[in-house]
């Protein structure tokens, strides 16, 4: 039985709409695409190998970072679903994104994903295709659906260290570019991938040209006011910090997003607060406005240098994750430092 047939029968069985005798029977082939020169294609995927027999025609992306890469590669016509959003889509991708069904704002049920008869699934985080996420990736691969997970969530990272994991090796934009190349290769659009990467590199060069913020300390606050998630040294915020020659006040931890109390934040007293402006509602103080209200009213934070001088740089959640939007983060933090007179 083909992978499309297995998916279709599995989804129908789970929905209880297929007769018991049909659950092992044949099903009509879906549009899987025609193999071209160079296929099958195999790429590394967080400790496993992802192989596609032909260019995907019915892809589902399960995290916003992965979705925006596929859209940036001009692949909306080959996508049948998305899930797990923290922010509005990039404006220049909105038209294409509107053509693709949003299966859920958070994690769609596996049955919902399978109902789209995907021939490829991509994710930005191992958790998304693990326990607590959509489903373990083995469940997809058992049904013949290739699953790709971004290398930025596993290369040089210990995801068993608790919390959001620990960076054993410092993340760089090269790992993000590698994800773009992998996905472009899977879909047979390598030239588009190289063009996208060249554009991102040019933007980084322009944003960081002649900037020196070596005397400036930054703090990155992603979410939660009760037990705030602050950026450690070596994830996406670390990329931003190093590109600007600045200092992260929590450079002394390799945890991705350690939860740090406000008294410790006050002791470090950063020059600038880089604040996640999220639209999701799963934690306290998600939006930048809510974060700023907290900072300016809480006794432990209202006397911080950055708060008193209102040195806030607002970033989308995606810009604080290792994605193509990390480049947006570099641009926005650089602009903020120049505005505050903190960049030489």
Domains for the chain: give ranges and CATH numbers.
31-200 (3.40.50.1980), 211-339 (3.40.50.1980)
Predicted confidence (pLDDT) at residue 28 exceeds the cutoff of 50? no
DSSP type of residue 342: -
pLDDT score for 245: 95
DSSP β-ladder status, 48-52 and 59-61: unpaired
DSSP β-ladder status, 312-315 and 272-276: parallel
The CA-based dihedral angle spanning residues 158, 164, 169, 172, taken in that order and rounded to the nearest 10 degrees: 140
pLDDT score for 344: 75
Predicted confidence (pLDDT) at residue 27 exceeds the cutoff of 60? no
Farthest-apart Cα atoms in the chain, separation:
73
Mean pLDDT of 308-337: 97
pLDDT score for 99: 97
Q: Tell me: the pLDDT tens digits for 234-264?
A: 999 999 999 999 999 999 999 999 999 999 9
For the ranges 36-50, 141-155, 264-278, which has the lowest average pLDDT? 36-50
Q: Tell me: the pLDDT tens digits for 173-232?
A: 999 999 999 999 999 999 999 999 999 999 999 999 989 999 999 999 999 999 999 999
Predicted confidence (pLDDT) at residue 38 exceeds the cutoff of 80? yes
Preceding peptide of 257 cis, ω within 30°: no
Predicted confidence (pLDDT) at residue 55 exceeds the cutoff of 90? yes
pLDDT score for 280: 75
pLDDT score for 12: 43
pLDDT score for 229: 96
Residue 72 contacts by C-beta under 8 Å, 6 or more apart in sequence? Answer: 93, 196, 324
DSSP type of residue 249: T
Query: What's the mean per-residue pLDDT of the chain?
Result: 90
Q: Are 107 and 84 in contact (CB under 8 A)?
A: yes
Nearest to 180 by CA among 192, 162, 165, 166: 192
Percent of the chain with pLDDT over 70: 89
pLDDT score for 279: 84
pLDDT score for 4: 53
């Amino acid at each position: 039985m083909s992978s499309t047939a297995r998916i279709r029968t599995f989804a129908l069985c789970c929905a209880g709409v297929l007769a018991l005798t049909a659950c092992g029977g044949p099903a009509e082939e879906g549009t899987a695409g025609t193999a071209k020169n160079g296929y099958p294609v195999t790429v590394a995927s967080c400790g496993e190998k992802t192989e596609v027999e032909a260019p995907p025609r019915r892809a589902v992306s399960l995290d916003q970072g992965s979705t925006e890469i596929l859209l940036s590669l001009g692949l909306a016509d080959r996508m049948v679903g998305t899930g797990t959003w923290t922010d509005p889509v990039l404006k220049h991708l909105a038209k294409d994104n509107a053509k693709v069904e949003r299966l859920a704002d958070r994690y769609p049920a596996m049955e919902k994903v399978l109902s789209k008869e995907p021939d490829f699934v991509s994710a930005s985080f191992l958790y998304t295709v693990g326990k607590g996420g959509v489903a373990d990736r083995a469940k997809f691969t058992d049904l013949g659906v290739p699953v790709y997970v971004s290398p930025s969530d596993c290369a040089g990272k210990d995801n068993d260290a608790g919390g959001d994991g620990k960076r054993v090796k410092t993340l760089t934009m090269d790992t993000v570019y590698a994800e773009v190349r992998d996905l472009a290769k899977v879909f047979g659009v390598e030239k588009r991938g190289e063009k996208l990467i060249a554009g991102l590199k040019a933007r980084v060069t322009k944003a960081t040209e002649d900037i020196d913020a070596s005397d400036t300390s930054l703090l990155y606050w992603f979410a939660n006011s009760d037990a705030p998630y602050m950026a450690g040294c070596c994830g996406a915020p670390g990329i931003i910090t190093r590109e600007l020659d600045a200092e992260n006040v929590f450079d002394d931890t390799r945890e991705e997003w350690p939860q740090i109390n406000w008294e410790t934040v006050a002791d470090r007293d950063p020059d600038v607060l880089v604040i996640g402006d999220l639209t999701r509602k799963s934690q306290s103080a998600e939006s930048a406005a809510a974060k700023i209200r907290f900072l300016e009213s809480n006794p432990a934070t209202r006397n911080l240098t950055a708060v008193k001088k209102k040195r806030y740089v607002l970033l989308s959640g995606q810009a604080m994750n290792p994605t193509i939007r990390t480049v947006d983060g570099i641009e926005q933090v650089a602009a903020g430092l120049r505005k505050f007179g903190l960049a030489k």
